[in-house]
Amino acid sequence: MKTLFDKLWEDHLILTRADGASLLWVDRHYVHEGSHHGFRTLAARGMEVAEPGLTVGVADHYVPTRGPVATPDIARMVQTLADNTAAHGIRLFGLGHAGQGIVHVMGPEQGLTLPGMLVVCGDSHTATHGALGAYGFGIGATEVAHVLATQTTWQRKPARMRITFTGQAGPGVGAKDMALAWIARLGADGARGHAVEYAGPAVRALSVAGRLTLCNLSIEGGARTGLVAPDQTTFDWLRGRTFAPADFDAACADWASLASDPDAAFDREVTLDMAEVAPIVTWGTSPEDALPITATIPDPSRVTDPAQASRIAAALDYMGLTAGRPLDSVAVDQVFIGSCTNARIEDLRAAAAVLAGRQAKVPGMVSPGSALVKAQAEAEGLDRIFTAAGLDWVGSGCSMCVGMNGDVVAPQSRCASSTNRNFRGRQGPGARTHLMSPAMVAAAAVTGHLTDVRPLLEGRI
């Protein structure tokens, strides 16, 4: 009896050393502008890329979302990726390419990530690809160099964990809320050392976009990877994608075995009831600082553990929040819809459903996850809903989620954001980030404060 993760592990296992370290085969290696350290190591050792055909370059972290590249330094990062991929014969989805986008959006979208693959990238959100039944995880620069040089990676097998979502999501509740719910319960390091498989009827009911969001946030709970067993929803979504297998039905027949056996044992099991999952926002400086929008801001004076109390107090100080106030009374200065977490077409549709015919009270920008998502949204008229509401419609990239391309939130400004990290300074020095679903960001835009989206959806979904 094997879990899905056991099967993926065995399918890529080349050998295990006596000390327990295992050498795994890598099917797909995505590189981006930040991978320059890895290429530099390769050059210093005079080595070639072992499997350039299995390596894919994507410009996302530093690319501009409007106008020219912000600074010469940033231009150099984008150019270095183009130079490195050209030198090694690696396919590049560079700036201006019709398939360019955020790596965790464009990879699955192109069919470059497929069920059963082992996928790595020098980016912690690589577990996103697990939504298709792939084993995806983030690696550092030394490991990037190793994968470039050998197409393999040394790993210790993580423990197996299953998070089951029972029941069904209520209106206005989606994958982002499911993810923040488990991270709030278990903590930002709650799944450390574990490969998490998401299961249960509420996961089965998710679209592929929802599954990508759920798996994307695995790292925010400390998990090594996140997985959803592929099913007909997955296969239907992949069929016809640019790099989907030529004999697609044969591949689907093979992928159908990618599921945990009925009696497979997990090292850890957690169950969440969707009846208890409401639209969620974060209030602090870690994704674990998440509460239903109907809650009040935590009060450190009511927390007994002194380390915990001081961390809450420090977070509230950074965030400029008052303990005990209702979360939905917190005014925001701006909004951002984008990132590898929530910038797919379904995310943009969810935000547009709230914004249609309404005005945003605060400025904000909408950055689609890829050039293809952008084109699709424009074909559906979503861009006009956003711009009519007063939001900026811009190009695709990591943008204001990480602030590397110059899209930043000003110091002490408060941003309702569909991104993945509310860390101090993540969206810019001193920036105050509240994480939530794209629909909740749209609701905050409409009212100018953190807002329960559900009343705004009445009669619309």
Partner 1 sequence: MTGWTLHHGLAAALPLENIDTDQIIPARFMSAPREEGYGRFLLHDLRRDGDALRPDFTLNHPQAQGASLLVARRNFGGGSSREAAVYALHDAGFRVVIAPSFGDIFAANAVNNGLLPARITEDQADRLLAACPAVMTVDLQAQMLTTGSDSIPFALDPVWRQKLINGWDDIDLTASHAAAITAFTKTRQARAPWVWPND
Contacts of partner 1 in 378-437 (CB under 8 A): 402-404, 421, 423-426, 429-430
Q: Interface with partner 1 includes 253 (CB under 8 A)?
A: no
Work out how close the CB of 174 gets to partner 1 at its nearest, in angstroms, rounded to a whole number: 23
CB of 100 to partner 1, least distance (A): 17
**CA proximity to 319, closest of 432, 401, 416, 444:** 432
Should residue 251 be labelled a site residue for partner 1 when binding is judged by CB under 8 A?
A: yes
If one asks whether residue 47 binds partner 1 (CB under 8 A), the answer comes out as yes
Q: What is the DSSP letter of 123?
A: S
- Name the one residue in this structure whose structure tokens are 């689609």: 368
Q: What is the secondary structure of 145-213 as a DSSP string?
A: HHHHHHSEEEEPPPEEEEEEEES-PPTT--HHHHHHHHHHHH-TTTTTTEEEEEESHHHHTS-HHHHHH
Residue 415 one-letter amino acid: C
Q: Is 458 in the site for partner 1 (CB under 8 A)?
A: no
CB of 173 to partner 1, least distance (A): 26
Contacts of partner 1 in 288-307 (CB under 8 A) = 288, 307
Touching partner 1, residues 55-74 (CB under 8 A): 62, 73-74
Q: With binding defined as CB under 8 A, does residue 187 bind partner 1?
A: yes
> C-alpha angle with apex 346: 450 to 358, nearest 5 degrees?
45
- Coil, strand or helix at 200: coil
Cβ 254 to partner 1, closest distance in Å?
A: 8
Q: Using CB under 8 A, which of 54, 178, 337, 442 touches partner 1?
A: 54
Identity of the residue, 10 or 263, whose beta carbon is nearer to partner 1 in the bound complex: 10
Q: Which of 290, 297, 294, 284 is nearest to 324 (CA)?
A: 297
Q: 10, 19, 263, 458: which one contacts partner 1 (CB under 8 A)?
A: 19
Considering only residues 223-242, where is the footprint of partner 1 by CB under 8 A?
A: 224
Bridge partners (DSSP) listed for residue 417: 336, 435
Q: Which amino acid is at 136?
A: G
- The Cα 374–Cα 61 span in angstroms is 17
What binding mask, one character per residue, do residues 255-294 give for partner 1 by CB under 8 A, x or -? ------------------------------xx-x------
Which of residues 99, 167, 170, 245 is near partner 1 by CB under 8 A? 245
Nearer to partner 1, 311 or 361 (CB): 311
Of 21 and 331, CB closest to partner 1: 21
Shortest approach of partner 1 to residue 251 CB, angstroms?
A: 5
Handedness of CA 319, 323, 325, 326 (dihedral sign): positive
Is residue 21 close enough to count as binding partner 1 by CB under 8 A? yes
Provide DSSP, 313-336: HHHHHHHT--TTSBGGG-B-SEEE
User: Are 206 and 231 within 8 A, CB to CB?
Assistant: no
Fill in the amino acid letter for 221.
G
Q: Quick check: 122 binds partner 1 (CB under 8 A)? A: yes
Which amino acid would we find at residue 454? Answer: R
d(CA 210, CA 32): 24
Residue 4 CB neighbours (<10 A) = 26
Window contacting partner 1 (CB under 8 A); options: 182-190, 325-333, 351-359, 377-385: 182-190
Which residue's CB is nearer to partner 1, number 20 or number 455? 20
